[in-house]
Structure 1
Amino acid sequence: MSTALGYRAFGGADVQEFFERPDPLPGPHEVLIRVAAAGVNPLDHHLRSGHAPGLNGALPFPQVLGMEAAGTVLALGSDVSGLAVGDRVTGFALTGAGTYVATTLLLGTSTARIPDALPETWAATIPVAGTTALDILDQLDLPTGASLLVNGIGGGVGLALAQLARHRGLMVTGTASAAKRDLVATTGAKFVDYGSGDVIAQLRTLVPDGFDAVVDAVGGDSLRSVAELAKKPELLVSVGDPTVVELGGVTVRRRLDRDSLERVAELMVSGQLDPNITATYPLERADEALALVESRHAAGKLVIDLQLSTR
């Protein structure tokens, strides 16, 4: 049995609870791991709230929170290749199986070994923030010197995107709250405080003709306000708001494969990508970490370190 943080119905933070669940057994295409660390993401509370029924609406309760993790392989499904028991790995959890728990199941094709030099806390940020940033840049395929606006640059995806974009020779500008200014500065991106007056006017002053591409990590009204700054509508990309298509833009085409995980791990080892982990939490405080992400006040990346936990 393992202690997990999850939910027995869809709703707000009030439906979350810790409970004991049996350690799962891997199916043919699955990997059972002992979780060392789990990343905390907006997707976690969106799934809990029932905002993505296509992903977890038909799954039985209770469901465990979390979608990305790093840990050690305990067992492999019969059809999983390229991995072995004892490997340190990172990957995407089965939806509902979660990662805010001591043992969980990952998708075999979406699990990769992590280099010896990479700590599990860093590796746990690869599946969502790291590969999302990589997918965006590969999808945009911008030339060296192109201008890129990242709306909501202060979170895990935005900071990863800014770093990788700069290494590709792109000119990055980002919007975030004033509290995230110093963190954004470490990426070399220009910063616009979206709490200091007319943001669009400030951005127009920096880039009068608009940006070669605009990536939005906020959604809603904020997405609609920056849409006009993309020189071409098809180069407006949203991380998580599907209404971007109404503006002529697109969502991120996610690959979720082993190759992408390995590429991001190597970018971390080579020094091109720092996940900017600003806080780690033991499992018993995972609800606090998720609450901070849900408030949109979290800077950088938050990680649950199960090696700190007493449960």
Structure 2
Amino acid sequence: MPKAYVFTRYGGPETEALIDVDRPRPGPGQVLVAVRAAGVNPVDFKQRTGYRRPGESGEREFPAYFGNEVSGVVEEVGDGVEGFAAGDAVFGRPVVGGYSEYALLSVDLIARKPDGLSFTDAATLPVAAVTALDGIRQLGLPAGATLLVTGAGGGVGVAAVQIARAEGLRVVGLASAGKKEFVESFDAVHVPSGPGWTGKVPGTVDGVYDLVGGEVLTEAASLLGDRTKLITAGAPPEVVERLGGSRVARIRSSERLVAAADLVVKGELDPHVTRTFPLERAGEALRAVEDGHARGKIVIEVTA
């Protein structure tokens, strides 16, 4: 039977397990994908604790799959699916599956994997890179403006810094002192996180892309004259709205996936996968992100 890494109830790492599951069957408008790689994101362990994205409702069924972005090869297509066939290399957001050998994907949240894009890199795009792209587009800062990215050393942060630089923005990246060289390697100005960090930001800031939340978000807001240029993917809507900003408006579509892949193929975005783990070590991959010290992206690779 196929294997999947799941959580059996809400809680901590003790709820996680690698189990045998039934092979999913694609419904109308869905494709079954043999997973080759799955990206690991903070939202994965947050969902294990009961977190719901804004707008999500309903009770989760257990055991629940980990994972929100995958790449792989189409095995089977459901009724009404056009444009995709068995053998196609694709990537996208799973409906069922994630850290698993098989996943179901909806055709409106899937894209073909370009030949110049590896399965491993493709698995980093549906959440991290697209979230970064959505935020940069939402801010709409002109070339030459200064963008502050908090949490600049993580998966979304690394993508946001690179996409912003490709659009001609000056970027200041807030990250731990140990990530100084890492952040600077993407042609950003590094500011070490910690008490008094706002006083170390050089010059003025025209926009803030927050990926941390909490006090960091509040402190970052104080640097802006125009709070409409404050966005966050690290805090709830009500928190950032009190500060005059907004959540990143996610555009979940195949077109956005294609746009993110094009950036990688053109050399404007390096997903910067720093560690990979096999499926049987998915728990270690999740801990690498959950401890908050990961650089770039962590990916689970599934043996073909």
Aligned to 2:248: 252
Alignment counterpart, residue 257 of structure 2, candidates 255, 261, 286:
261
What CA distance in whole angstroms lies between the structure 1 residues aligned with 2:107 and 2:180?
39
| Alignment TM-score, normalising by the size of structure 1 | 0.94
- What is the CA deviation profile of residues 72-111 of structure 1, one whole-angstrom value per residue up to 9, with x for unaligned ones? 01111213332222110000011xx231010011121000
3-state secondary structure, aligned to 1:162? helix
**CA displacement at 1:22 relative to structure 2:** 0.3
Percent identity, aligned pairs only? 44
Aligned to 1:86: 87
Determine if contact 1:173/1:189 at 8 Å carries over to the other structure: yes
Worse overlay, 279-288 or 75-84: 75-84
Where do residues 1-311 of structure 1 align in structure 2 (5 Å cutoff)?
Answer: 1-52=1-52, 55=56, 57-94=58-95, 97-195=96-194, 197-203=195-201, 206-207=202-203, 210-242=204-236, 243-307=239-303
- What is the CA deviation profile of residues 284-309 of structure 1, one whole-angstrom value per residue up to 9, with x for unaligned ones? 1111111121111111100001128x
What CA distance in whole angstroms lies between the structure 1 residues aligned with 2:135 and 2:2?
36
> What letter is aligned with 1:86?
G
3-state secondary structure, aligned to 1:279? strand
3-state secondary structure, aligned to 1:268? helix
Query: How has the CA–CA distance of structure 1 residues 26 and 167 changed in structure 2, closer, same or farther, with 3 Å as cutoff?
Result: same
> What letter is aligned with 1:25?
R
**CA displacement at 1:48 relative to structure 2:** 0.8
What CA distance in whole angstroms lies between the structure 1 residues aligned with 2:28 and 2:176?
45
Determine if contact 1:50/1:57 at 8 Å carries over to the other structure: no
> What letter is aligned with 1:75?
E
What CA distance in whole angstroms lies between the structure 2 residues aligned with 1:172 and 1:227?
16
> What letter is aligned with 2:126?
P
What CA distance in whole angstroms lies between the structure 2 residues aligned with 1:49 and 1:80?
35
**CA displacement at 1:56 relative to structure 2:** 6.7
What CA distance in whole angstroms lies between the structure 1 residues aligned with 2:208 and 2:112?
33
**CA displacement at 1:198 relative to structure 2:** 1.3
- In structure 2, stretches of 5+ residues that fail to align are none
> What letter is aligned with 1:184?
V
Query: How has the CA–CA distance of structure 1 residues 55 and 11 changed in structure 2, closer, same or farther, with 3 Å as cutoff?
Result: farther
**CA displacement at 1:146 relative to structure 2:** 0.7
> What letter is aligned with 1:84?
A
What CA distance in whole angstroms lies between the structure 1 residues aligned with 2:46 and 2:10?
10
- In structure 1, stretches of 5+ residues that fail to align are none
Runs (4+) off by over 6 Å? none
> What letter is aligned with 1:293?
V
**CA displacement at 1:19 relative to structure 2:** 0.9
> What letter is aligned with 1:82?
G
Query: How has the CA–CA distance of structure 1 residues 230 and 98 changed in structure 2, closer, same or farther, with 3 Å as cutoff?
Result: farther
3-state secondary structure, aligned to 2:61? coil
